[in-house]
Amino acid sequence: MQKTFAMIKPDAVERNLIGKILSRIEEEGFSILGLKLVEMSKKQAQGFYAVHSERPFFDDLTTYMSSGKTVVMALEREDAILHWRNVMGSTNPDEADEGTIRKEFGESIERNSTHGSDAVETASEEISYWFSGIEV
């Protein structure tokens, strides 16, 4: 079993898609180990996305991520990281495969409804950013 971090972004929360995305997560065989509805501050968003701090889109990203509520989750299943990334689809909804969350719900590269870890180390860091050890 493997853990991954997943997030339902502000665009999906504001469009009342939490339930649909959570249903998909369960249908895909994930166990939800931790789940929180958070409204991150700009500083929290900057900390979470610090790896992108030198990128030109960093300010827009952190402004967007602190613009509304998000759902943060720790998920578990066999091959969780790759499976969640496949379920989400390509970062750009226009390039995402049919049947993926981002194809169905994403509006743009920025407003693409979900986030997921890309590696074991990243998943561990992202889970621990939002959850204490006793919460997951």
Q: What is the CATH number of the domain that holds 127?
A: 3.30.70.141
Active site residue 115: yes
Q: Which residues make beta-bridge pairs with 77?
A: 2
Domain extent for 22:
2-135
Question: Considering its fold, how many domains does the chain have in total?
Answer: 1
Q: In the 3-class helix/strand/coil scheme, how is 108-130 assigned residue by residue?
A: CCCCCCEEECCCHHHHHHHHHHH
The structure tokens listed for 65 are: 């991520």
Q: pTM higher than 0.75 for the full model?
A: yes
| The pLDDT of residue 29 | 97
Q: What is the pLDDT of residues 57-116, one digit of tens each?
A: 999 999 999 999 999 999 999 999 999 999 999 989 999 999 999 999 999 988 999 999
Task: Please pick, among 10, 115, 126, 131, the residue that the annotation labels catalytic.
Answer: 115
Exposure b/e, 61-99, CB count within 10 A at least 16 = b: bbebbbbeebbbbbbbbeebbebbbebbbbeebeebeee
